[in-house]
Structure 1
C-alpha cells in the first residue's frame, strides 16, 4: 500500500516559518513531541474509563525517547491511543489542526480539560527544526494494521503500511548535521528534564547503543561466572530496570494538607538545586474562577536587589512553558523561587508567550493576593517568626509595595521597622513611641557605622530611630511619605530632635563663632549654629539637609543612566554644642590665632569624620593637625 498527497496548510504562508522560526529555542521539540505522547496516553486512559476502549496489553503507560547515535535518530514512542490513516490525514497533514482540541470537543461532557496537554496542531512540526526527515509509525487501538507517514520537510508526504505491532505511536527523527548536539545523550536528557520534569506520564530516555553494550557485558559476565562455577547474587543477575526522568506527581499538584515540611524542603532542593533552606513557602491551590496550583518559596535575599535572581517556573498542565513571565507573575514576585501551573493560560502557538488577555491579569492579581494573605497570616499567628524573617523578606515586601498598589494596600499595616533599640515596630507603633517629640517624624539610619555618633546621642536621650539600610529604602521612604502625607522621614543626621536639646542656646555664642568658623575654614556658604545639647560628649556635629541629600542621590542615579546632570551641593550645617568645654573656650577665651585655627579646623573635621569619610587631602591635614595638637598638650 502506498499513497502520496500534499500537505494542507490551514494558516496562510505558515509552513515556511515552521522549520526555523516556529520556536526561539530548538530544544523545545522535545517538549512538543513528548507532550503529544502524553496526550495520546491520557486520551486512551479516558476512553477506557468511559468504556469506549479496552486495554488488552495492560503494560505500564509510558513515553520513551530512544537515541541511536550511529543512525543519527531520535525516536519518541508512546503506548497511547494511536492513529488511524484518517486521523493522520486530519491531524498531521493539515497543519495547525489540533488533535487535542478536537478530542476535547468530542468528549467535553465526559472529561476534564486539564487532562489533555496539547492545544495547538503545530507542535508536531517542531520536529523539522532539527530533523531532515520524520517518520511516524502508528497503530490505532481501533485497527490491526499500522500506518507509516514519512516526510522530508518539504510540502509532500508518503503514507504506507507501518511495522508497529502494538498500540501507540513512534515518531523517528533523522537529525540534521547542525542539530547533532541532540545526539549527545546528556544534552538530550538535559533538554527533556528542562521541559518535562513534571509531565503526568513516566518518561524514559534510552541510549540504545549503550544499553546494548551494557546488556552484552552483563551476559558475558554471567557466562564467565557459570563457566567458573561461581554464583552471582540476585542483584547481579537481575536485568537493569530504567527509571523515569520525571516526577509525574510533583508536590505542587498534591493537597497542601498532605504535604510535610520536609517534603517541601526536599522538593525545593531538587527543583532549584539550592541547598540553603527556604524561609517559608506558600502552596497555591485553586479551582475557581480559574485553575491554578503551585508553590512559591521565600529564599533568603541578598543585600542588593540587583544580585537577586529568583526563578518562577510557569507550567501548563505539568508542561513547562517558560521562566519569569511577567504577564502572569507580578514583577516583585520574581525575587522568589517557585512553580505555578495554570491549565487555563491563554497561550499562543509557541506556548512560550501569552496572548493579550484580561484573564492573565486576574491570575497575577490572585497570586499577589495569596502572597499578601500568607504574610499577614504569618504576622498575626506567628509574629515571632514574622519578625525573625523580616530582615530577609523586607526587600521583597518593600519592592512589592512599590510595584503593586493592591499589595501595598494589604501590607501597609504589617510593614515592620527595626529600631535602634533592636526591636521591631510598625509605623504607627513607632510614631506612638516618639509622640512626645511633637512631630510625626521618623528618624532613620542608613549606615549604622557611619552614623554611630548620632545613634549614641539618640540612645542617651531615650530616643530611637529605625534602620533603613537597603538600596530599596530610598524609593520606599518616598512612597511611604506619599501615602502618609503627615509623616516625614528624616535621616538621623539631617536634624536635631527637640529631645536632644536642653535650654535655648545663648545667641552670643553663635554671633561670635559663626563668622569665625566660616573665615578659618574658608567656607562662606557653611551654615553654623550653636545648640545647647544635653550631652557634653559631643563638641561639634554635621547636619545634612534631607531634601538636598535626596536630590543629590537622585541626580547620581540619573547620571549612572548616562544623563550627565550637574550635582547640587549638600546643604550642610555645622552644629556647635555650647555645653562642651571646647566650644565654651572658643567663645569666651582669647586664644592665640594659631591655636584658634587648629581648634576650629579640628572640630570641623571631627564632625565630618562622624558623618562620612574624609577625602585624601582632608585626611592628610587632619592627621598633621592632630600631631600638632598632641605636641601642644605635651
Structure 2
C-alpha cells in the first residue's frame, strides 16, 4: 500500500495560488475542514437512508475539533463515511476533483442534494495556508476497508501508507507554522467556529488538550450512559434534634442519605444544527425570533419586527430579515445581512444577492442554490442571483404593504423608525418603489399619518398640488405657528434621506411641488386689503426705502429685502429661503462631506418686513434717526434667530445690543 509521489495538479503552479490567494482570510481553513467533516457525515446518513449503510444504535454523529497550543496542532475529526486508498488518491492527490460532485452524480436518482456542502474539492488545501505539515488518517465505512495514513509537508509532495485508525471517519491534523500558532488557541478557535460554523448541520465540539479537566456533580437520576464517572460521593442523611412532649430531645432524620456523582463535564456543541430560519414561521414564537436576533447580532435592543423568508421553488431560500430600531440622531444606519450556503457562513452583505437598500437591515439568508466560486467566498456571475435578489425585494415589499393594509396601527407606530429604509429602497429599486408608493406615510403637524393622496386632499382648496414640509420643528417653530393659525397643514420630514426622496416623488407625480414652510410668505398670511394705484405706488417707494435703510444698517448691500403686509401685526420680520436655493445648499452640504465646498452656492435669504408692524413703521418714519440702525440690526437678528441661529459674532453683538435696548427702555 505504501506510496509516494507528487500531487497531481491540473494547472501548472496552481498550488501557490491556492495557498496564498484563493482565500482572503486565513482563518477560513476552519470552515473548509469542518465543512468537509459535516459533508462526510451527511453523505453517510444519506447512504443509511438508502439502505446502503446500517447505523449502529450507539452512533452519535459529530465533528470534534481538538487544539493543542503547546504543540501548535489542530485535529479535526469526523465519524462520516471516511475514504479508501483509491478515494484518497482521487480526492486528495488530484487537486480540484470534487468529491461532493462525484457523490451527487453517483446517487442523483436516489437522494436529493440538500446539505452537501462541498462543491470544489479545494477546501482541504486551505490547511496549507497555516500548516507546514498536514496528515490524514481515514477509514472508509465500506466493509473490509483498510485504514489509510497520508501526510504532506509543504503541500506539493505526499506519502501515503496503511494506517492504524479504528472506526470509520477521517482525522485531519495540522502542524501549524509559527505565523499561525494563534489558531491553536482555544478562545481564538471558538471565535472562528462561531463565525463560520455556528449553524452547520452536524454537531461540532471543541476541546483543548492542554486545559485542566472540568467536572460537574450531579444527582443519580441525572446520570446517563454517556457520562464518565470520576467519583461517587455519598452525602450522609441530614438530621436535626427535636424536643419531645416530655421535654427530652430526639434526633430526627430530615432527609435521607444521597449518592451523587462527580463526572467529566459534558461537552456542549459550539453550533446550533437547526437554526430558526429552517423552521416554518408558524412554529416560531416572538421570543424565539428576538433571542435569535440577540444571539446572532449581539444587539440587545429589540427589533421592531421581522420577515421570515421560506421558499423552495423555483429556488431554495430561507432566512429572517429584522428591522432594527435605530436612533437616527446618534447612530449611523448600517445593517448586516449574513449569507449562508447550506448553513455554512459565506460572507456579510454580498451585494449581488442582497438589494442595496436592505443592507440597512439585519438578518440571515440561507440559499443552497447560490452559484459560488471555487473559494466558496464569492458569487459567480449568474442571472440566477438577480432572481434571488428580486425575490427578496418582493417579499419585503409584500410584508410592508400588507402590514399597512391590515395592521395600520402598528405600521404607523413603526413608521418613524422604518421610513429611511423604505425611502432608500424606493430611490434604489424601481420595482420596490412601484409596490410601496401608495404606502409611504407623511406625519403632519398634528402627528397624524397621511398618504400622499391624503396630503394633497388636505390642502386641495388652498394650494393645488403643493405640500408644505418641516425639517426641524424647533428651528421652524415660528413658521409652524403661523401655518397652524392660518389652518394650513404641513408634513414633518427631518431625515437626510427626505431631500432626495422629495425630488423623487416630484418626478413621479407631474405638477407636484414640495415647499418648506419658510420658503416664501404664503398668500394666506398676507393682508388682502384692496388699495388704489396711488397707494400701491407709495408702498413700492416705502419698500425701496426700507430696503436701503436695512442694507446700510446691516452692512450688506446684496441683502434681499421684501416688504409685505401681513395679517399678524405682531410679527415684525422673518427670513425666507427659496426652495431651489435651499435644495442646492443642502446638496452642496452633502457634497462637502466628500471633499466639495458647501459655500460654493450660499443660500439666497430674503428678509421679509411686515409693513403692518409698528417697529417697521417706526424705521420707515425715522429712517435717519440715531437709534434706527440699531433697531434694524435687532429686527434682522430676531428674524435670523427665528429661522435657525446666529453666527457666534452676531450672537455676541445681539446680546450686547439687547442689553443696551433694555437699559434705555427702563432707564437703568
Q: In the alignment, does 2:312 pair up with 1:287?
A: yes
* Contact 1:494-1:546 within 8 A present in 2 as well: yes
Q: Which residue among 479, 494, 497 is the counterpart of 1:469?
A: 494
* Contact 1:504-1:532 within 8 A present in 2 as well: no
Partner in structure 2 of residue 457 of structure 1: 482
Partner in structure 1 of residue 193 of structure 2: 192
Q: In the alignment, does 2:619 pair up with 1:619?
A: no
The alignment's TM-score, normalised by the length of structure 1, stands at 0.94
* Contact 2:237-2:258 within 8 A present in 1 as well: no
Q: Which residue among 541, 558, 579 is the counterpart of 1:511?
A: 541
Partner in structure 2 of residue 274 of structure 1: 299
CA displacement at 1:227 relative to structure 2: 13
* Contact 1:505-1:531 within 8 A present in 2 as well: no
- Tell me, what secondary structure is at the counterpart of 2:569? coil
- Structure 1 residues 273, 455: closer, same or farther in 2, change over 3 A? same
Provide the rounded CA distance (Å) in 1 between the counterparts of 2:327 and 2:478: 27
Partner in structure 1 of residue 661 of structure 2: 629
Q: Which residue among 622, 625, 628 is the counterpart of 1:596?
A: 628
- Structure 1 residues 227, 519: closer, same or farther in 2, change over 3 A? closer
CA displacement at 1:245 relative to structure 2: 0.7
Q: Which moved more, 1:431-440 or 1:194-203?
A: 431-440
Provide the rounded CA distance (Å) in 1 between the counterparts of 2:4 and 2:552: 100
Provide the rounded CA distance (Å) in 2 between the counterparts of 1:330 and 1:14: 35
Q: Which residue among 255, 264, 268 is the counterpart of 1:239?
A: 264
Partner in structure 2 of residue 172 of structure 1: 173
Q: What is the 5 A alignment of 1:518-597?
A: 518-564=551-597, 567-587=600-620, 589-590=621-622, 593-597=625-629
Provide the rounded CA distance (Å) in 1 between the counterparts of 2:451 and 2:171: 63
Provide the rounded CA distance (Å) in 2 between the counterparts of 1:564 and 1:343: 48
CA displacement at 1:592 relative to structure 2: 5.9
Q: Over residues 491-527 of structure 1, what are the superposed CA-to-partner deviations in whole Å (9 max), with x where a residue is unaligned?
A: 1111122222231586434521233323333333323
- Structure 1 residues 60, 306: closer, same or farther in 2, change over 3 A? same
Partner in structure 2 of residue 183 of structure 1: 184
Provide the rounded CA distance (Å) in 1 between the counterparts of 2:318 and 2:302: 22
Partner in structure 2 of residue 24 of structure 1: 24
* Contact 1:137-1:169 within 8 A present in 2 as well: yes
- Tell me, what secondary structure is at the counterpart of 2:506? helix
Q: In the alignment, does 2:389 pair up with 1:388?
A: no
Q: Which moved more, 1:93-102 or 1:201-210?
A: 201-210
Q: Over residues 116-163 of structure 1, what are the superposed CA-to-partner deviations in whole Å (9 max), with x where a residue is unaligned?
A: 111011001111111111111111111432111111124221111111
Q: Over residues 552-594 of structure 1, what are the superposed CA-to-partner deviations in whole Å (9 max), with x where a residue is unaligned?
A: 232333333224586123222221223323234444x457612
Partner in structure 1 of residue 637 of structure 2: 605
* Contact 1:505-1:578 within 8 A present in 2 as well: no
Larger-Rg structure = 2
CA displacement at 1:543 relative to structure 2: 0.7
Q: What is the 5 A alignment of 1:155-166?
A: 155-166=156-167
Provide the rounded CA distance (Å) in 2 between the counterparts of 1:558 and 1:312: 28
* Contact 1:38-1:201 within 8 A present in 2 as well: yes
CA displacement at 1:20 relative to structure 2: 2.2
Partner in structure 1 of residue 224 of structure 2: none
* Bigger fraction of residues in helix: 1
CA displacement at 1:421 relative to structure 2: 1.4
Q: What is the 5 A alignment of 1:106-145?
A: 106-144=106-144, 145=146
Q: In the alignment, does 2:339 pair up with 1:310?
A: no
* Contact 1:305-1:471 within 8 A present in 2 as well: no
Provide the rounded CA distance (Å) in 1 between the counterparts of 2:657 and 2:237: 96
Q: In the alignment, does 2:116 pair up with 1:91?
A: no
Partner in structure 1 of residue 375 of structure 2: 350
CA displacement at 1:428 relative to structure 2: 1.4
- Tell me, what secondary structure is at the counterpart of 1:36? helix
Q: What is the 5 A alignment of 1:430-449?
A: 430-449=455-474
* Contact 2:229-2:262 within 8 A present in 1 as well: no
Q: Over residues 298-327 of structure 1, what are the superposed CA-to-partner deviations in whole Å (9 max), with x where a residue is unaligned?
A: 001231697223111000000000001111
Q: Which runs of 5+ in 2 are unaligned?
A: 217-226, 239-255
Provide the rounded CA distance (Å) in 2 between the counterparts of 1:451 and 1:594: 33
Provide the rounded CA distance (Å) in 2 between the counterparts of 1:66 and 1:229: 42
Q: What is the 5 A alignment of 1:61-100?
A: 61-100=61-100
Q: In the alignment, does 2:231 pair up with 1:222?
A: yes
Q: Over residues 188-239 of structure 1, what are the superposed CA-to-partner deviations in whole Å (9 max), with x where a residue is unaligned?
A: 1110111001001111111123265769xx999838x689999996664233
The alignment's TM-score, normalised by the length of structure 2, stands at 0.90
* Contact 2:64-2:78 within 8 A present in 1 as well: yes
Partner in structure 2 of residue 408 of structure 1: 433
* Contact 1:544-1:571 within 8 A present in 2 as well: yes
Provide the rounded CA distance (Å) in 2 between the counterparts of 1:168 and 1:350: 24
- Structure 1 residues 18, 592: closer, same or farther in 2, change over 3 A? closer
Provide the rounded CA distance (Å) in 2 between the counterparts of 1:175 and 1:143: 34
CA displacement at 1:21 relative to structure 2: 2.1
Q: Which runs of 5+ in 1 are unaligned?
A: none
Provide the rounded CA distance (Å) in 1 between the counterparts of 2:181 and 2:257: 40
Q: Over residues 430-476 of structure 1, what are the superposed CA-to-partner deviations in whole Å (9 max), with x where a residue is unaligned?
A: 11101122332221111111111101111111112111111212222
Provide the rounded CA distance (Å) in 2 between the counterparts of 1:247 and 1:88: 30
CA displacement at 1:382 relative to structure 2: 0.8
